Amino acid sequence: MASNAAIALYLCATLVAINNFVFINATTGLVLSHIQRVPSGQLGDKAGSLSFADQCVSLVCVYLWGVCSDVIGRRAVYASGFSVMALALALYPRAQSLAALLLLRMLFAIGGAAAASMLTAVLADYARDSSRGSMAGLVGLFSGCGALLALLVFMPVPFRFADLVEGIQTTYLAVAAISAVLAVLLALFLLPIDSEQGVPPTPLDDGESLLESMSRETSFEDSRPSSRLLDHSGSTIPPPRVVFVQSSESKTSILNLAIEGFTAAKDPKVLLGYIGSFLARGDTVIITLFIPLWVYKRYIEMGDCSAPSPDDPDIRDMCRAAFRRASAISGIAQTAALIGAPVFGYLSDRFHPSRVVLFNAVLGFISYLIMFYADPVKGYVFGLVIFVGLSEIGLVIGNISLVTHSGSVKESVRGSVAGVSSACGALGILIASKLGGYLFDNWREGAPFLVLAVGHFVAIVCGVYVVSMGVL
């Protein structure tokens, strides 16, 4: 399979996976209210329980899938993940009870964990260090497009049906069908299968841009170590390295793989990548959950909103001005992240990724500290959240570049390291949502921002050590 097609398939998988994650979160309220007939006063609690169960399952499964991919290969794990997600999505709006809905959400989390883990592991296999940041930036861009696809394309579809329930079920089927098709494509074309039977997508050559690699076609007649390719001068050069699956002699036991995913953090660069993953996913919770609640609560305090609480399920109708402002603030942050993805990808290649993580940790720390004291009705908040969005995507790009760098992570444990990194992200979501939510309710509405500011300060300390000690 030519490298351009392999990379295109991988990027499509990234887009569809993020679309699935955002879509199921955005439409769960519709499933609960119109299919499960949950009273409006219980919607927040039930939706929160489903999300919490999702993240608990993901926390464990992303790690296990990563370890498995080092043993059975990325292709099997990636295709299995999309197959499981397709099944869960098709059945989710047809659950006959809340218990069944919970089980299906957990099933979706199992499949989603495979896709999330492979997003990092496959990038480690496809990109060379000189262009790893650009590849990560492109992944970040497609991730943002996946979120937009869910919110702008699939989310409005159910409302176009005369029967909303039918619309919800039909839209879920469409999203499930896309996942099923992608599972088949991954199973057939995400090569190599192994070093004896398949040929890897060509890794990006040193000094070669990502677009140059995607635009060229490369074929191989033989992938064995004895085969040779000709360079421009006619001299022979070794073939590209076979990636994804190690030979039987070099395979490490599952137990050792599981341990090495954690012991890789002995390298300060990998540890910094794990911290970056934790913070980046925590930033996502802030932007999508707590910024709207922050705005709603302020409007209620000013008497401009008649809703009894910021998490009232009918707040969109009761506080339209607050809803519009919250949407605008979150939208600006997400747009900044989308634009910043390729920029930070380039910077991760131009400078070491640890410097990119350090820069964005500082940016996030300052931004969240100011937001802790800020008033969401003031105009400067729109400028402030631009830096929040940039910090979020910068940490994502820097984290991916660090935990996939060949100088820090051995090929035999890339999947395990990717799994631990994804698990750190899931843990970041759990802590940011639970601790931030508790402090929001019992202390002050800006408390979640302070929690993230403290986390970014920890990343600054680690980043300063990595950069100043020359651990590059």
- Is 410 within a domain? yes
* Interaxial angle between packed helices 43-72 and 98-126, expressed in degrees from 0 to 180 and rounded to the nearest 10: 40
Same domain flag for 184 and 268: no
Boundary (domain end) residue, out of 160, 189, 218: 189
φ/ψ region of 73 (left if φ > 0, alpha if ψ in -120 to 50, else beta) reads left
Write out the residue range of the structural domain in which residue 180 sits.
3-189
Lookup: tokens for 322? 């607050």
Same domain flag for 182 and 320: no
Same domain flag for 270 and 372: yes
Same domain flag for 34 and 161: yes
Specify whether the CB–CB gap between 154 and 174 falls below 8 A: yes
| Number of continuous H segments (helices) and E segments (strands) in the chain | 16, 2
Residue 459 has pLDDT above 80, yes or no: yes
| SS3 of residue 148 by DSSP | helix
How many domains is the chain partitioned into structurally?
2
- Is 197 within a domain? no
Q: What percentage of residues in the chain have a pLDDT greater than 90?
A: 54
Tens digits of per-residue pLDDT, 189-198?
Answer: 886 534 333 3
Same domain flag for 175 and 315: no
- Is 377 within a domain? yes
- Is 202 within a domain? no
- Is 96 within a domain? yes
CA distances from 180 to 84, 86, 100 (A): 9, 5, 22
CA distances from 90 to 20, 94, 166, 437 (A): 12, 8, 13, 31
Boundary (domain end) residue, out of 170, 189, 208: 189
- Is 195 within a domain? no
d(CA 102, CA 94): 12
Same domain flag for 163 and 52: yes
The domain spanning residue 416 has which CATH number?
Answer: 1.20.1250.20
| pLDDT-wise least confident of 95-104, 229-238, 271-280, 300-309 | 229-238
Specify whether the CB–CB gap between 354 and 466 falls below 8 A: yes
Same domain flag for 357 and 444: yes
Looking at beta carbons, which pairs linking 372-381 to residues 24 or more positions away fall under 8 Å?
372/446, 372/447, 372/449, 372/450, 372/453, 373/446, 374/446, 375/298, 376/291, 376/294, 376/295, 376/298, 376/325, 376/329, 377/295, 377/298, 377/299, 377/302, 377/325, 381/329
Task: Write out the DSSP string of 207-230.
Answer: T--HHHHHH-----S--STT--EE
Same domain flag for 337 and 464: yes
d(CA 67, CA 200): 20
Angle CA(28)–CA(30)–CA(36) in degrees, nearest 5?
90
pLDDT for the residue numbered 216: 42
pLDDT for the residue numbered 239: 44
- Is 46 within a domain? yes
Same domain flag for 282 and 174: no
Burial of 469 (0-12, 13-18, 19+ CB in 10 A): exposed
**In the 8-state DSSP scheme, what is residue 319?**
-
Tens digits of per-residue pLDDT, 193-235?
Answer: 343 333 344 444 444 444 444 444 333 333 333 334 444 444 4
Mean per-residue pLDDT over the chain, rounded: 84
Cβ neighbours of residue 224 closer than 8 Å, sequence gap 6 or more: none
Specify whether the CB–CB gap between 3 and 216 falls below 8 A: yes
| pLDDT-wise least confident of 51-65, 202-216, 268-282, 359-373 | 202-216
Give start and end residues of each alpha helix (H) in 31-131: 43-72, 74-91, 98-126
Same domain flag for 182 and 265: no
Same domain flag for 271 and 363: yes
Specify whether the CB–CB gap between 403 and 277 falls below 8 A: yes
Boundary (domain end) residue, out of 154, 189, 224: 189
Prediction pTM value: 0.81
